[in-house]
Structure 1
């Protein structure tokens, strides 16, 4: 027996609308999650990278440990570069981190003549020089992340929240792509990618241009609501405005998008397809330990195929059948992925584990009847995988 908040045999279908929208259809725990992330979130959600760095005295590149709050990772890297007098485009980071969190990550960039030991922008970032390198580390330097999250009970006592967290220790969690992969402002990036792939540019324009973001100015919200048709929007330099004005010429649209934007949208589509694949796999009753025909076994763990954009799927068997079934409701097939419309970026296929295990999971009660949990996940895995078992939107009010 696992107790009131323990893991039951098998998996339970989620009733959370966001889970269902993004294909994260199954959870280990049944019933309503017992807690929520304590507010303010940026002080209750802390992420620290776990890198493997090779430092060399006298190297021409500087490696800084950077703590940020309320900033996207790329913006923080560029801000640090500007403070050091370095071209922001030369700043290299190992991974993107949650904007609405306090994060510690490592940034590499060309050393200025006299690199300062500490750089601080009050309330936004703090960076400390940790050493030099002959070249900036590649993205593979990141082994994973350590998360520390403060929870407030909603439908349980503090002790019961601790028990629920401890029941996840050593658990095999479905390796879904988390909410952040689909857009922190509005989780529809995968739908933009799907519209691009299907060549449905009217749908793409609606997904891209409609519904103002919560943090946009009133003027931008009005422009978005009118799809940039009003006169006050004509001077906008956002690429969305250009798309809105020229969406009537479908053949030109892929060329109008910044390549990086299209790649993000298509990568989100790949992630959504994987989530649907994994949910179908669970719905058919397959164990996470079971390797299906067409999957790979890497380090004793099954890995499922994530199909590419512009590439043929290099597998068959039940894995290919599940992918076709996952794609059918989207109105596309493996052939559509292999031969996308002209002008779209090509994204390589890859393999992803079907489960992950949180390492070093700890839970304790802290003052104010709150619960602090801490755990590590391998690179490519999201805190969502643990957090959705214990807490979910809406946040505490």
Structure 2
């Protein structure tokens, strides 16, 4: 059974980069301890715009909303909002998935509703949405940053340690790992399901999604999953699985009607969820490769011959196609790297990925070989709609801003601004250095 100390290695994350002593503590003891706000181009801060007058823009194809949610998955909140307004969840446009156990403010673009009264404000017990104007479209390219307000409780740190950590991180950065929420922390299986889909084992993907459990899940859920793993009976599992397991029950209903239709069972899930499986597997491969390079002593901010690099804008967002570090440009790339003009990248593998040469590329090749896949594997023949071309991700995360403040009762407050697609937990784990990963989602499981 997976233990709390095994979670990081299970998602490919190993070791630390910063030399400072860990301060311990716990994050997300309550959702209000972790507040996230999206910032769009032009400095539009979703939290700052909350409750303000609508933006003065002309009507276009999409209405622009700010969604405030508390302790609910992004996909679930958007599905409820879309249903309330009268459109399909698949037509909603967002910049990215936000933490579940948090209070988050994010933008959502929904098609202009023609047949349902648009009141401009909707709410449920766990989310609230205000229409603030119109927009011609929304995707991750329009996001310039995520702003965080985080409280770490029961930490052990003095002012000098916090100052040293801040200086170290702003100067040298931290590894740009994909965070726990990419994989599922209480049940980190998203990448395992993705691996099985990539390898063409759809039955294995279905059975893993339904049956894999950990000690951290609620007892009724664990019992139902374990019973299914023993019997493999989809009809019986449908009777036993709690109603809260919405996606699992969709798959079970499909398999009860059409035994053996594993592709249909997977396709009963939203396309966004199915793509998350593949993306999570790519993210796992990236994490493992980055962990190997750190273990081998490679510095994040020093280029090696064979590395790939891209230009980055003032928000640390990569753009343009990747270029290769050679003996001719090694010194120049090093200078531009220190100036913050370029970033060393590794692929999150896909069928169009260019695997770099040199030690970092060798690390990724070793991981791919161990997993028994290649970039071509991500052209998924049995489920082509989730095929992935791959992307290039900076290996170094340097905050756009960082402030740390000591509060009463051994609490620490962080004000943090990060580039898009980066995870606050990548920085928090370097600060806290907890071997019990559950501390990053508010669980007082153990004190390791």
TM-score range, shorter chain: 0.7 to 0.9
Cα pair 1:42 1:100 within 8 Å, conserved: yes
Report the counterpart of residue 128 of structure 2 in structure 1.
Answer: 126
Distance of aligned partners of 1:347 and 1:87 in 2 relative to their CA distance in 1, 3 Å threshold: closer
Deviations 1:319-359 (A, max 9, x none): 543322122332x1427626655445311022111112012
- Given the alignment of the two structures, is residue 307 of structure 1 paired with residue 318 of structure 2, yes or no? no
User: How far apart are 1:183 and its partner, in Å?
Assistant: 1.8
Distance of aligned partners of 1:209 and 1:85 in 2 relative to their CA distance in 1, 3 Å threshold: closer
- Counterpart CA distance in 2 for 1:244 and 1:348 is 30
- Counterpart CA distance in 1 for 2:84 and 2:258 is 39
* Structure 1, 314-323 or 380-389: larger mean CA deviation: 314-323
* Structure 1, 354-363 or 206-215: larger mean CA deviation: 206-215
- Given the alignment of the two structures, is residue 334 of structure 1 paired with residue 343 of structure 2, yes or no? no
Report the counterpart of residue 166 of structure 2 in structure 1.
Answer: 166
State the superposition RMSD in angstroms. 3.3
23, 34, 38: which one aligns with 1:34: 23
Report the counterpart of residue 281 of structure 1 in structure 2.
Answer: 293
- Three-state SS of the structure 2 residue aligned to 1:35 is coil
Distance of aligned partners of 1:210 and 1:105 in 2 relative to their CA distance in 1, 3 Å threshold: same
- Three-state SS of the structure 2 residue aligned to 1:47 is strand
* Structure 1, 335-344 or 282-291: larger mean CA deviation: 335-344
- Counterpart CA distance in 2 for 1:84 and 1:150 is 35
Report the counterpart of residue 316 of structure 2 in structure 1.
Answer: none
Report the counterpart of residue 237 of structure 2 in structure 1.
Answer: 233
Cα pair 2:176 2:395 within 8 Å, conserved: yes
Correspondences of 1:239-250 after superposition (within 5 Å): 239-241=250-252
293, 298, 301: which one aligns with 2:306: 293
TM-score (norm 1): 0.81
User: How far apart are 1:233 and its partner, in Å?
Assistant: 3.1
Task: Please list every run of 5 or more consecutive structure 1 residues that lacks an aligned counterpart in the other structure.
Answer: 1-14
- Three-state SS of the structure 2 residue aligned to 1:105 is strand
Deviations 1:189-213 (A, max 9, x none): 2122223333456754553222447
- Three-state SS of the structure 1 residue aligned to 2:31 is helix
- Counterpart CA distance in 1 for 2:296 and 2:413 is 36
Deviations 1:37-60 (A, max 9, x none): 355331101111111279632335
Cα pair 1:201 1:247 within 8 Å, conserved: no
Cα pair 1:36 1:390 within 8 Å, conserved: no
Count of aligned pairs between the two proteins: 374
- Counterpart CA distance in 2 for 1:291 and 1:226 is 51
Report the counterpart of residue 209 of structure 1 in structure 2.
Answer: 210
- Three-state SS of the structure 2 residue aligned to 1:100 is coil
Distance of aligned partners of 1:65 and 1:275 in 2 relative to their CA distance in 1, 3 Å threshold: same
TM-score (norm 2): 0.72
Distance of aligned partners of 1:30 and 1:287 in 2 relative to their CA distance in 1, 3 Å threshold: closer
- Three-state SS of the structure 1 residue aligned to 2:65 is strand
343, 347, 370: which one aligns with 2:388: 347
- Three-state SS of the structure 1 residue aligned to 2:178 is coil
Report the counterpart of residue 366 of structure 1 in structure 2.
Answer: 407
* Structure 1, 237-246 or 360-369: larger mean CA deviation: 237-246
Distance of aligned partners of 1:335 and 1:79 in 2 relative to their CA distance in 1, 3 Å threshold: closer
Report the counterpart of residue 19 of structure 1 in structure 2.
Answer: 8
Q: Which structure shows the bigger proportion of residues in helix conformation?
A: 2
